[in-house]
Amino acid sequence: CTLDSEVALRVGGDFFFDPQPGDSPVNLVLIAGGVGINPLFSILLHIADLHGYQDSKGNRHKLGTVKLYYSAKNTSELLFKKNILGLMKEFPGKITCCFHVTQQHSQICKELQPHTTGK
């Protein structure tokens, strides 16, 4: 986002992301903490499927970028972290993630280090 950008914010409840062919592309920022990643991970997988389908079949979906911010106490509590890293590798620049840990007492593994901030 840039200064004066319009954003929509949704906290809790029932929500989904279901872009239709012909819709204008949107950039998503997904923010999750702990097990709250579950519905957002489903959205992330859906977007990855659409990106994969778009790349291979040339579908009519116009997709923006997705930035996931995901926080947990430590890296062992970051659910789906290997899947998320895999999606970032598969769709560079289209899907990105920043992990944040609040109570990490051990060294963060090399694979997560470039994407992780916190204690």
Q: Where are the domains of the chain?
A: 28-118
- Tens-digit pLDDT string for the chain (119 aa): 688 888 777 777 777 888 888 888 889 999 999 999 999 999 999 999 888 776 566 566 778 899 999 999 999 999 999 999 999 999 999 999 999 999 999 999 999 999 999 86
**CATH architecture for segment(s) 28-118:** 3-Layer(aba) Sandwich (3.40)
Q: Which of 26, 25, 31 is nearest to 12 (CA)?
A: 31
Strand partners, 69: 31, 98
Sign of torsion over alpha carbons 101, 114, 2, 12: negative
Helix (H) or strand (E) holding 94: none
